[in-house]
Structure 1
Amino acid sequence: MNSLGTDGGGTAHNAAYNTVSGDAVIVGPVLMAQRIEGLQLPTPPPDVPPSQGPVPSRVFVNRTRELADLRDAALSLAAGPEPGVVLVVGVGGVGKTQLVAQAVRRELHQLFPDGQLHVDLADHRRDGVVDLAAVLGEFLRALKVHKDYVPAGLAERTALFRSVAAGLRLLVKVDDVQHAPEARALVPPRGVLVATGRRVLPSLLMDGAALIDVAPLDETAGTELVRRWHADADEGTAADVVRLCAGHPLALRAALEWLAARPQLTLDDVVRDLTAGRYGTDDDGAGEAMAVAMGTAGETEEGGVGEAVDAVLDSVVAGVAGHTRHLYDLLGVLPGTTATADLLAAAGATRVDEGLGELLSCRLAVLVESPDRPRRYRLHDVVRAHARLRARTLPEERRRAALRLVVDFYADAAAHGDAVVLGDRFRIQPPPDRSLSELAVRGTLFTGRAEALEWLDAERVNFRAVIRVAADEGRYEQVWRLCESLWALYHSRKHLADCEESGRLGIEAAQHEARPDVEVRMRNQVARAAYELGDLDRAESQLDAAVDLLGLVGDPRLSGVVQESRGLIALARGRSEESPGAAYDRAEEARQFFEHALAANRAVPDPHGIVVQSYNVAQALVAGERWADALDVLDEAAGTARAGGDEPMLPRIDLVRAHAFAGLGSLDRAVAAAGAAADAAAALKQFAKLDQALELLAALADRAEDRPLRAACEEKLSALRRTMGLRPPAAPTA
């Protein structure tokens, strides 16, 4: 069997080289080395350490002991030979995250010169389980690892994170930790993890974690805070406000921000309203539910933290403008965790900018950091719990009407994102009725592939929640439409756990609608996610169910995508076979699947599908050591790709061609094809393919005892991997 590897990339050729066979060109050893040395790599990203996390408030009082304890714990752990953990515990909204932000600004940033990473695990938790692979993917990208180098599986991402961060002094800040394994998985190899949560995790303390307990403010500190915000406040009145808010910083801030927007009122008015219970808790257990949401169950007696915060939020919401109150209630109805003005307008809100401004000024909503274009807003988790409790009291039809509008917005927007990211691929659903500009309050949601992908990724948590809501509401067509469109995100950013979860809901939706064509598509997507995660048995079981449905569908391309997936699994199984005979059998099995897929695409015809499946057939032929047959298929595929302008496929074709020439023992042609692959991959910015081409060239140079070429490839690989964010650079393999 060929031991040089699989897959590759290449396309542009220099006219000074003499064409010998197909696209292979003969160049001398020195000239090829110079050609590799001259490859243009992308400009490295700015060498600026990541600095993630909430911005520290300019008004911050007391917490002297907690700040000192946090500083001392971080100093001690940072000085040690092993990474450490600090666990910051307190009720929801008590100021844990702000405490950490203050400590970082004042002193801790000096201890971690290589940067700060931050994640709120609430954004990645579903059914009580955190998607740690997604978190690590975000960390790797923040550490400037190019997306092409972020692997799919959790184990691989964990290993890469530890490798990239091995030489870095990092501070990792993680909010909403509920279980010890969530924290352990994110500890940097050389640095400190600061985790905030609502309860003590004994197993972390047994591991050596330092504990910082953050209690509500006492009367003295709370009074100082109130008088910082309201300088002319009477000390006794300020103390009354602190008592009525149970010393809870979030409640104090909400009450004082509300008052600041109403200069005709005084602090006495706030005390009077809260004392009278004018906007107190409802009779439906809202105070208890709020306490549970805050992690303070058992504190719901009169004056307890949960009830106090609930009363303050009721008071603040009752005092805002009507359109703002409607917006607040709508935020309580929305699935997911963040919202944009575009979404809120689509869901029926009016005067959205004014309402959001008032919610921001009252500190009920906050802006969220996001790499995509629209500004994103979210409610603090304690406030969100309050908003959702209010939403339960809304008329059912009003709530469901808003959810229908939300689902429709996301279904149309995701379809546009899919079209921009993946172009003219085969889709079952028709184009969306609304244009991109119709979905936006102003301008457009995104322009270009990169922006579309960032927007889809920023909405990932919301998409997950919206698909569930659509399924619960019986909006089955919207469920599978969303699932089909989100392949553009799931495949590009390797959110494979999300792909499997949504795909299962898509399968159920297809069955409800008696759409075997959709079910085939959904099962294939779930199978591809399982395949990329390395679970070939689970992938195969999904494909077996899809095959049983193929007789009920009309479009031959659905058969093609299923057979392609079966072929990829057969190739993967062949690579793990120990005996050459079994490996050859797997290669032949894969070839037959790919031939079926090729025939299905020719029947349409689908030019891109024809090129892809021809390329796959050639891969199977190379795996079966049928070198000459593979070259014939590749020549035809390259001609079809050029005729159809399918330039991105040419690098892949050239790399497989290089393997075929190497299998025939024609090293000069193999080197020429791999060199062409490197040229084209660099020109097309296909950096993963460029990496593969350079690895293959290095291996071929080793076989040919061409030291200059080997040295040139190693140097270029090292530079490429540094540019792609890998530290230290991975060594090329032979």
Structure 2
Amino acid sequence: MLIAESPDMRLAELLDELKDPATGITRVTVGGEPSLGTVFDAGYRRLSRLGQRCYRAMGLHLYVDDLPVAVLAAAMGIPEAELRPVVRELRDTRTIDQPRASRLTVHKLVHEHARLVADTVDDAVHRLAATRSMIGWCTTGAVTAVTGLLPPRSWRADFLPESVVDAAHPASVDPGAWLRAERVNLRAVVTVAFELGGLEPVLRLCISQWWLFLAEKYADDLLATHALGLRAADHLHDDRMKALLLVQQGFAYRSLGRFCDAVDSCTAAMRLAEAVGSVELVATRLEGAGLAAFDGGDLTQAALWLRRNLELAETTCDPRRIALACLHGAKPEPSEQALVLLERAYEVFRSLPVPESQNLAKVLLWQGRKLGAEGGPRLREALALATEHRHQADRAEILEALAQLDADRDVAVELYREALTILDDVAEDIEHLGLDVVSEIEEPA
């Protein structure tokens, strides 16, 4: 219709008009009918005063089609409970789609109109303050969530201070579910925070991204956020933070099969960690580089780095760190030495105050691999453990190992098929992930 009514306008010109922030598609008219903007204007005027404030706050949120009511409350500086009648008002006027529990689905056209109204009604100082309040809400939620999910490691205390944790934040109720629900929002917030010069929130959001990567393998998200995080760390001259982000970046590269990039990222992190005198950071970077070298087929270099990682882990007297170093260090070693390291790792993981089912399953998986034809029982034990605790990506890897071991071709095909089905469910948003590049991504020490 638009093209038919504008025969002299080139398509490129029409598209430019539709995306013009001063006009946009909400101002376009068709067939002499009122523009969408005119219709939206009338709907906006019918809202209550608080409803209009909420509408403008929706426009300030970097657009995604799903956002929590709580972030709008943060932008407006009022309790979330006060917005409940407003949500009903927006629903009844069909401004938003049928809301789900504490969340709104906002059409892109509505969002664009709300942004234009906010730009007209609210001054720049108010808009900036509201946007920063949204960033703060998301950052606090992310830190609160990962503090409850990640083990109490020393680097976490250094980079994610307890003072930022908010027990009253919705993220504290079910941290993993909150991070999954806000994943797209959090990635977008990193960009907005960086553009506004909020470097500390950028760094905290990047660190918080780590759990989503560990749990869901969102490598593309991590690489996108960390590209900005590394720039923020450079600007702040924070070499310790930069070293941490580099090794996390290295693990993301590794998961995508980009092993040379992973090694480069981790070795760059090692140089920084050595310069700031952090043994723990050096060990973590050795681990990342060693695992990337192992996945890339350089067993000699992998063994050298991972042996050194174990030596440094021993100096920390931290049983869990030592167990992880044993698990990783076993991978490039011959079976006899590897099985000794794996048994040591198994005993530690089993004896921790809270036994770590995921790492126990990984140890069993590698014991099964190192035992060769006799490894079936260990692999089946690993599969049972991963299934019980719903570690789906680990299940797929164990199934692959069982398929490689099984002499019955039909059984092996079924095992591969089941593994691929799991990967489709786990990584439907990750184009790069396939059975040929599946690699275990344990939490680095």
TM-score (norm 2): 0.79
Residue from 485, 509, 512 that aligns with 2:235: 512
* Residue 255 (structure 2) aligns with: 532
Shift of 1:721: 5.4
1:519 Cα deviation from its structure 2 partner: 0.7
Say if 1:359 and 1:487 are closer, same or farther in 2 by CA, change over 3 A.
Answer: same
Shift of 1:726: 7.2
> For each residue in 1:21-41, what CA deviation from the matched residue of structure 2 results, as whole angstroms up to 9, or x when unmatched?
xxxxxxxxxxxxxxxxxxxxx
- Corresponding position of 1:73: none
1:326 aligns to 2:53 (yes or no): yes
**1:612-627 alignment runs, 5 A limit:** 612-621=324-333, 626-627=334-335
Residue number in structure 2 paired with 1:556: 279
Equivalent residue for 2:358, pick from 614, 639, 648: 648
Equivalences, count: 408
SS at match of 1:534: coil
In 2, distance between residues paired with 1:726 and 1:345? 37
Q: Cα distance, 1:414 vs. partner?
A: 0.8
The answer to whether the 8 Å contact 1:290/1:386 transfers is no
Q: Secondary structure at the match of 1:543?
A: helix
Q: Contact 1:290–1:385 (CA<8 Å) still a contact in 2?
A: no
Q: Which residue of 2 aligns with 1:293?
A: 25
How far off is 1:516 after superposition?
A: 0.7
Decide whether aligned partners of structure 1 residues 639 and 90 sit closer, same or farther in structure 2, where only a CA change above 3 A counts.
farther
State the Cα distance separating 1:646 from its structure 2 match. Answer: 3.1
1:630 aligns with 338
The residue number in structure 2 matching 1:389 is 116
Give the distance between the partners of 1:470 and 1:346, measured in 2 at CA.
Answer: 16
State the 1:325 CA deviation: 1.2
Instruction: Identify unmatched segments of 5+ residues in structure 2.
Output: 4-10, 426-433, 436-445
Give the percent of matched residue pairs that are identical in Structure 1 and Structure 2.
24
Check the 8 A contact 2:279/2:312 in 1, yes or no.
yes
- Aligned partners of 1:562, 1:447: CA distance in 2, in Å? 33
* Matches of 1:287 and 1:696, distance apart in 2: 51
What amino acid is the match of 2:115?
R
Secondary structure, counterpart of 2:24 in structure 1: helix
Once the two structures are superposed, residues 564-600 of structure 1 have per-residue CA deviations (whole angstroms, 9 ceiling, x without a partner) of 22112211221xxxxxxxxxxx212101211232234
Q: 1:686 to 1:554 in 2, by over 3 A?
A: same
Q: Secondary structure at the match of 2:97?
A: strand
**1:598-636 superposed Cα distances (whole Å, 9 cap, x missing partner):** 234333344332222211110010xxxx22111221222
For 1:605 and 1:718, locate their aligned partners in 2 and report how far apart those are by CA, in whole Å: 40
CA contact (8 A) 2:399 2:419 kept: no
Question: 1:341: which partner in 2?
Answer: 69
- Tell whether the 8 Å contact from 2:396 to 2:420 is kept in structure 1 after alignment: no
Q: Tell me how far apart the structure 1 counterparts of residues 150 and 344 of structure 2 sit (CA, whole Å).
A: 24
Shift of 1:687: 4.6
Q: Residue 364 of structure 1 contacts residue 383 of structure 1 at CA under 8 Å; is this kept in 2?
A: yes
The Cα of 1:289 is off from its aligned counterpart by 4.7
Give 1:68-467 correspondences, 5 Å limit: 289=21, 291-294=23-26, 296=28, 299=29, 308-337=35-64, 338-350=66-78, 351-367=82-98, 374-393=101-120, 394-425=122-153, 426-427=155-156, 428-436=159-167, 438-439=168-169, 444-445=170-171, 447-448=173-174, 452-467=175-190
The answer as to whether partners of 2:260 and 2:292 remain within 8 angstroms in 1 is: no
Query: Compared with structure 1, are the counterparts of its residues 304 and 569 closer, same or farther at alpha carbon in structure 2 (3 Å cutoff)?
Result: farther
**What is residue 132 of structure 1 aligned with on the other side?**
none
Q: Distance in 2 between matches of 1:359 and 1:677?
A: 50
Residue 591 (structure 1) aligned to one of 287, 290, 303? 303
Q: Please, what is the CA RMSD of the aligned residues?
A: 3.6
Cα 1:461/1:725, change in 2 over 3 Å: closer
The residue type equivalent to 2:133 in the other structure is L
- The structure carrying a bigger helix percent of its residues is 2
- In the alignment, the residues of structure 1 paired with residue 93 and residue 166 of structure 2 have an alpha-carbon distance, to the nearest angstrom, of 35
Which structure 1 residue ranges, 4+ long, deviate > 6 Å from structure 2?
Answer: 285-288
In structure 2, which of residues 319, 336, 358 is the aligned counterpart of residue 607 of structure 1? Answer: 319
Matched residues in 1 for 2:43 and 2:381: separation?
Answer: 66
- CA distance 1:392–1:660, change in 2 (3 Å): same
**Structure 1 residues 90 and 545 mapped into 2: Cα distance closer, same or farther (>3 Å)?**
farther
For residues 423 and 118 of structure 2, what CA distance do their matches in structure 1 show? 45
Structure 2 CA distance for partners of 1:587 and 1:291, relative to 1, 3 Å: same
Q: Distance in 1 between matches of 2:302 and 2:416?
A: 34
Distance 2:72 2:268 in 1: 40
Question: 1:320-350 CA distances to partner (integer Å, 9 max, x unpaired)?
Answer: 2211111111112122323322112222354
Contact 1:313 1:383 in 2 (8 A): yes
- Paired with 1:380 and 1:655, the residues of 2 have a C-alpha distance of 46
Distance 1:674 1:462, change over 3 A: closer
Match of 1:639 in 2: 347
Alpha-carbon distance in 1 for matches of 2:18, 2:392: 54
Paired with 2:220 and 2:421, the residues of 1 have a C-alpha distance of 29
Aligned twin of 1:677: 382
Deviation at 1:400, TM superposition (A): 1.6
Higher relative strand content: 1
User: What is the TM-score normalised by the length of structure 1?
Assistant: 0.50
Mapped to 1, the partners of 2:19 and 2:383 lie a distance apart of 64
CA distance in 1, matches of 2:395, 2:111: 47
Contact 2:287 2:309 in 1 (8 A): yes
CA distance in 1, matches of 2:310, 2:277: 16
**Counterpart residue type for residue 380 of structure 1:** H
- CA contact 1:326–1:349 (8 Å) conserved in 2: no
The structure with the largest alpha-carbon Rg is 1
Residue in 2 that maps onto 1:565: 288
Residue type at the aligned position of 1:502: T
In the aligned structure 1, how far is the partner of 2:412 from the partner of 2:349? 31
Give per-residue Cα distances to partners, 1:74-120, cap 9 Å, x unaligned.
Answer: xxxxxxxxxxxxxxx979xxxxxxxxxxxxxxxxxxxxxxxxxxxxx
Q: Is the 8 A contact 1:504 1:522 kept in 2?
A: no
SS at match of 1:366: coil
Q: Which residue of the partner structure matches residue 660 of structure 1?
A: 370
Distance 1:589 1:341 in 2: 51
1:692 CA drift (Å): 4.4
Alpha-carbon shift at residue 413 of structure 1 (Å): 0.6
C-alpha displacement of 1:294: 4.9
Name the CA shift for 1:465/1:648 in 2 (closer, same or farther; >3 Å): closer
Structure 1: distance between partners of 2:47 and 2:403 = 68
Residue equivalent to 1:545: 268
Cα deviation per residue 1:38-92 (whole Å; 9 max; x = unaligned)?
xxxxxxxxxxxxxxxxxxxxxxxxxxxxxxxxxxxxxxxxxxxxxxxxxxx979x
Distance 1:510 1:288 in 2: 34
- Alignment-mate amino acid for residue 145 of structure 2: G
The 1:392/1:690 distance shift into structure 2, 3 A limit, reads closer
Q: Give the counterpart letter for 2:141 in structure 1.
A: A
User: Compared with structure 1, are the counterparts of its residues 502 and 368 closer, same or farther at alpha carbon in structure 2 (3 Å cutoff)?
Assistant: farther
Tell me, yes or no, if the aligned pair for 1:365 and 1:378 is still in contact at 8 Å: yes
Residue ranges of structure 1 left out of the alignment (5+ in a row): 1-88, 92-177, 179-197, 200-284, 575-585
